[in-house]
Amino acid sequence: MMSIGNITSAKGAANYYTKADYYSKEEPNVDIKSNWYGKGAELLGLSGEVDMKMFSNILEGNLPNGKSLGRMLGGEFVHKPGWDLTLGAPKSVSLLVLLGGDKDLLEAHHIAVKEAMDYIEQHVLVSQTMTDEGHAFYDVPNSIVGQFTHSTNREQEPHLHTHNVLMNAASTSEEEWRSVYSRPIYNNKMLAGLVYKSKLAELSKELGYTPNWNSEKGTFELDEISPEILKANSQRRVAIEQYAEEHGLETAEEMAEAAMKTRASKKDTPTQEIVDNWEQLAKEQGMDYEKIVAEKSKNRKGISVDKKQNED
C-alpha cells in the first residue's frame, strides 16, 4: 500500500531520515543507503546517496541551481517542504527478506517502488497557478525524490518499506521549476499503491513464490507463509483493525485515522536486540525462513527487468 504524510519541517525531516533503520537477520548491521530518484533530480545533477544538507535545502525551497520556490504570506516567505510517500511490502515479503535473507526479493521491492514513483511522476504531478481565466495546471513530470528504506514498524516488527520524500519542487523543463499541487497525489494514492503491489507480485512469482491476492483488500501475501504466522508477526496491524472495529471505521481514510490513533512512539532499541527478538519468535513458531528462501533459489534465474532501471 501507499501512505502519504505531510512534511511540515525541513529540519525535522532531515533529522528523522538521517537515522539508519534497516535491520536483517542475515546482516544485522547493514544500512541500505539512501538515494536520489526522479527526472528532476537528474536535471539538477543529484544522484547516489542523499546529501542531507542538500536534502534540507530543497525541502526549504532552495534548489541547487539557485532557484527558490515559495510565496509571501502575511509578510513572511513560506514554502511547504513536501510529502512522504511510503510504500510498504506485504508481511510475507518482509519476513522472507529480513529473516530469510532473500536479496532478490529485496531487489524486487525496490524495482516495484520505482515503478510506482515513475507512475506518479509521469501521470500525476501537476503545478497550479492563477490566471485571468482562473486556475491553470501544468504537467511537471520531473520530480525530486529522496528514497530511504526501513525495516521495522512502530512495534519493531519486520516491515520492509521505503519512504519516498517527494519534494515540493518539480519542473516542466530544466529552466522552469514550480511548486507541486498535491491533490492529484492524494487522489491517485490507491492506484499508485496498486502499481507497486502488482509489480512486486509479478516479480515475486518470477522468483518462485506464489502470490495470493485478496480481492477485497486489493493486496496479496505469499502462500509460502501461513496466515497464522503472518498474524503473529502483525500485532501492529491487529491493533489498527481492532481500533477500527471498535469505532466503526471502514474506509481507507478512516483506516488511516485508526493507524494514527494507535501509533506508538518510535522506540530506540539496539539493532542486535531487534534481530534477536525476531529470531526468538521465529524459533518459537518453528519457522526457518532461510530454508524457504534456499528452496526457492535453487533453480532461480533472477528477475527479468531492465537492469538500468535498477541502477537509476
Tell me which residues are annotated as active site.
16-17
Length of the chain: 312
Q: What are phi and psi of 252, to 5 degrees?
A: -60, -40
What is the distance between the alpha carbons of residues 102 and 92, in angstroms, rounded to a whole number? 12
Q: CB–CB of 171/177 below 8 Å?
A: yes
Q: CB–CB of 174/184 below 8 Å?
A: no
Beta strands in 140-230 (DSSP E): 143-152, 158-171, 177-178, 211-214, 219-222
Beta strands in the chain (DSSP E): 2-7, 35-37, 71-73, 76-78, 82-88, 126-131, 134-139, 143-152, 158-171, 177-178, 211-214, 219-222
Instruction: For residue 180, give the H/E element and its range.
Output: none
DSSP state of 306: -
Residue 66 half-sphere exposure toward CB, CA atoms < 13 A: 1
CA-to-CA separations, 79 to 56, 57, 144, 298, in angstroms, rounded: 12, 11, 16, 52
What is the distance between the alpha carbons of residues 63 and 72, in angstroms, rounded to a whole number? 18
Contacts of 264 (CB under 8 A, 6+ apart): 154, 155
How do 158-171 and 143-152 pair as beta strands?
Answer: antiparallel
What is the number of other CB atoms lying within 10 angstroms of the CB of residue 131? 7
